[in-house]
Structure 1
Amino acid sequence: MTDDFGGAPHQPGSQWYDGEAGPLVRPYAMTGGRTTPGPTGVRFDLIALVTFDPRAPHAKDDSALGPEHRNLIDLCRAETQSVAELATDADLPVGVVRVLLGDLLELGCVTVSRPVPPAQLPDERILREVIEGLRAL
């Protein structure tokens, strides 16, 4: 039996396999149907920086975590990355990465920091005056 478009024959479970992409797992299956990053209340901006915490309880024995969680930990273990970078490197939608990071944050496997908003940065004029004052010493 072939599909309606004259393609390859149907195999049992073939709706979960794409010839070019390989096995398919729907995003809601990776997150258990959740769309928000848990009760932590943390909003993961695209530029939020995620760092692996080696002191975490699951840092050495991560068998309790799913494969997507372990992949994110491996990506963060090498270096601090933004949420956008993690989504790209893990080849997952940003919404899925946010939910998975919420799980990892609750478990203490990662820490999240936000860059300083531009409004809170010192004024460039003040920095120039400080530099000029230091040069005058």
Structure 2
Amino acid sequence: MSADGEARSHWFDDDAGPVVRPYAMTRGRTRHAAQHRLDLIAVVVAEPHTDDPDTDASLSPEHVDIVDLCRRAPQSVAELAAELNLPIGVVRVLVGDLVDSGLVHVNRPVPPAELPDESVLRDVINGLRAL
């Protein structure tokens, strides 16, 4: 009971407002098929040719927020989680949904093992200077 004698719902927080649990945002899912590609520094980019996500009834408000943020500028998964104040796991599932629906795509960084070795680049530069 609250100070005024009324019963308080456990779904309401005086400071935060209505509470929505993360599993409700993801419909109980903790993983998405594309999640293996969504590390923290993967960059999410909105597709330029898509319709307004506000008109799609299948999208949650969080989906729409992600698309809106990515339309302003490409965002990493970590930046989206911080900006929306959502857990990383929730953002990964939501971004996976958006990839499936064609509203965004993900650019993954090149793994360090696939980057050229610095010594090879120096040899190429030295070879070009020798010409």
Deviations 1:13-33 (A, max 9, x none): x31221222221111111111
Superposed, 1:6-25 pairs within 5 Å as 10-11=6-7, 14-25=9-20
Which residue of the partner structure matches residue 60 of structure 1?
A: 52
User: Aligned Cα RMSD in Å?
Assistant: 2.0
TM-score by length of 2: 0.85
**SS, match of residue 49 in structure 2:** coil
Alpha-carbon spacing, 1:130–1:22, altered in 2? closer, same or farther (3 Å):
same
Superposed, 1:105-124 pairs within 5 Å as 105-124=99-118
- Partner Cα separation in structure 1 for residue 127 and residue 29 of structure 2: 54
Which residue of the partner structure matches residue 74 of structure 2?
A: 80
**SS, match of residue 54 in structure 2:** coil
- Partner Cα separation in structure 1 for residue 94 and residue 22 of structure 2: 11
Amino acid in the other structure paired with 1:51: V
- Partner Cα separation in structure 1 for residue 116 and residue 42 of structure 2: 20
Amino acid in the other structure paired with 2:62: E
Structure 2 gaps, min length 5: none
| 1:49 shift after superposition | 1.2
Alpha-carbon spacing, 1:71–1:8, altered in 2? closer, same or farther (3 Å):
farther
| Runs of 4+ with >6 A deviation | none
TM-score by length of 1: 0.82
Q: Check whether the contact 2:29–2:93 (CA below 8 A) recurs between aligned residues.
A: yes
Alpha-carbon spacing, 1:128–1:77, altered in 2? closer, same or farther (3 Å):
same
Structure 1 gaps, min length 5: none
**SS, match of residue 106 in structure 2:** strand
Query: Identity over the aligned pairs, expressed in percent?
Result: 56
Number of matched residues? 128
Amino acid in the other structure paired with 2:15: E
- Partner Cα separation in structure 2 for residue 18 and residue 9 of structure 1: 17
**SS, match of residue 92 in structure 1:** coil
**SS, match of residue 10 in structure 2:** helix
